[in-house]
Amino acid sequence: MERKKFIATLSFSMLFAFGLTLRVIFIPAKTLDMRFGYFVWYDMIAAQGILPSLASQSFGYNPPFIYLLALATLTKGFLPKIIAIKLIPITFDILNTFIVHRIVKTQFPEGSRPLLAALLFWLAPTIMVNSSFWGQTDSLYTCFLLLALLFLLQQRTSAALFAFGLSVAVKAQGIFFGPLLGLLFFKKRIRWYEFFLVPLAYLTAQIPAVLAGRPITSLFSTYGAQGETFTKTSMNAPNFYFFLSTNDYNASLVIGIPLAALLLLAWMLVGGRKAYSLTPGILTLAALISLALTPFLLPKMHDRYFYPADVFSLLLAFFLPGTWFVPIAYQVISLLAYAPTCSTFLHEASCRLPYSSTPSRSGSCFGNNGH
């Protein structure tokens, strides 16, 4: 028994180190979001100081990420800023690895499945690319979605709703978890007054910025400004809006958003009123449907917006083993969605090598992945 435990611990440590090594290799990649977003904000905080910067409305992200970016500037004396910035999502990769382990352990308290789930998450290609290659923040809001699922599995609905509110406070895409909560409300698993915890969590996350002097009204305008950044029906998102042209942009908003709302409401009502046992597997399946169906039905989605679905599909394979192919399919689909941006970046990088005589004119592959 001790020998098996030793082998399992050694194997986990080696594979964890392998995943960490790959992340370190990816860190030098500089995206347009890095160059014209994170680097600019980092320099501004470093120059102005943390408290004055928290009062600023110049950031394109909500305050919770800016708090972490401000903490990253404290390492400016001994860490290059690209490392300091990318350590934020990589740290959340590590946190999420432990949460995935904890979630699977609720169903399988004994055996190696929780450890295997954690390793598969840690080594999943889209997880590594998102945090260490792109330096994106999807691991941050997904962390709170994973906590929300863990709390739901533990029947702690109030904690789940608070975690959901924190997710939305970090990134607007946290709202993709909302239809699941609506379904649970119709199934009488969530009481109506518990939903007040969502705005409470959102406002709680803004307190440091307000105390620093940021106007309260500005805390509700960030997501609206993000929505106006691009005027395309799809930013490489794997949904049917990908096949529409820019000329269809206005129509996709006028028709697509109300249609998505109606279809999601129908799913909540049917799923909430239908009689069935809400087992951990069915609950995880419903969470995945919520996270996958919402960005699939909406226009203006980005390639990265199925990141939570990638994560939850992995969990589903452990709760419902017959769905083992689902996380594989999501990895393939997401990587295909990432391919245009990644191939452009690699082309640009190759053009900077000593043997290349033709400079790249394509720009960074990450210019279309803003929010």
Q: Residue 117: is its pLDDT beyond 60?
A: yes
Is this model's pTM higher than 0.85 or not?
yes
Which contiguous run of DSSP H or E holds residue 122? helix 113-123
User: Could you give the number of structural domains in the chain?
Assistant: 1
Residue at 259 is within a domain: yes
Higher pLDDT, 351 or 272: 272
- Give the Cα separation of 18 and 297 in Å (integer): 37
Task: Write the CA distances from 322 to 110, 123, 187, 287, integer angstroms.
Answer: 20, 22, 25, 17
Q: Which residues pair with 235 in a beta bridge?
A: 302
What are the residues facing 302 on neighbouring strands?
A: 235, 236
Residue at 28 is within a domain: no
Q: Would you say residue 147 has pLDDT above 90?
A: yes
CB atoms within 10 A of CB 147: 22
Domain annotation covers residue 26: no
pLDDT at 349 over 70: no
The answer to the question of residue 357 being in a domain is no
SS3 300: coil
Check if the beta carbon of residue 131 is closer than 8 Å to that of residue 86.
yes
Structural domain includes residue 4: no
Question: Between these two residues, 2 and 216, which has the higher pLDDT value?
Answer: 216
> Is 6 part of a structural domain of the chain?
no
**Is 10 inside any structural domain?**
no
Tens-digit pLDDT profile for residues 163-210: 999 999 999 999 999 999 999 999 999 999 999 999 999 999 999 999
User: In terms of residue numbers, what domain contains 240?
Assistant: 36-346
What pLDDT score does 35 carry? Answer: 85
Average pLDDT, the chain: 90
Name the E strands within the chain: 234-235, 301-302
**By mean pLDDT, which of 189-198, 218-227, 229-238 is the weakest?**
218-227
Give domain status of residue 30, yes or no. no
End-to-end CA distance of the chain: 49
At residue 47 the predicted structure's pLDDT band, cuts being 50, 70 and 90, is: very high
State the pLDDT at residue 344.
58
pLDDT computed for residue 363 by the predictor: 41
Distance CA 22, CA 133 (A): 10
